[in-house]
Structure 1
């Protein structure tokens, strides 16, 4: 398990959790609510899409007893999340910022590897 070694690079951290990248296993580690979850790249993107699709406003407006909690299971995971509206907002923030950092790292690497043509006319 990567998280026991020094092979994890922190992508983003909040007071509620963190997302790490493991280049050895080509996966991400989500630390949230005191738990660790391993997600490969496509699972991470799918899970983020799932979390983003949760309608917080309708949860808060609905007065029924079951409306204030959402049960989420990350793709191919053995565990599930039981989250209230505040926790969903915290998770959305964490995943969105981590996704931005992934894209930013990709752009930086592309810029660093770019070498303009040496021939000048």
Structure 2
């Protein structure tokens, strides 16, 4: 007598993840390209403008002015900061006329977008 073979367990196909539709893949790729383009434009224009933009200080603020007369570099500083070398006495709006400041003050013409103004400055007394 021969033994019958043991019963075989039914075999089911291995579960597979459903294939993503081709449209989603193309849409993600398109969004990735758009995001890279937006980032490139932001880097080219936005970040450069942010770091090279003039200081829009108000009266009472202190600043550090370095660079040449024709190309000054201005940074806002705390008035107690050792690097602060001028205090903004007043801001004259809608002009580049550095003579709008009173005698004895330094003047610095600035432009912020379409807004133009002159910072009237006095040296910080240390």
Q: TM-score range by the shorter chain?
A: under 0.3
Larger helix proportion, structure 1 or 2?
A: 1
Compute the TM-score of the two structures, normalised by the length of structure 2. 0.22
TM-score (norm 1): 0.23
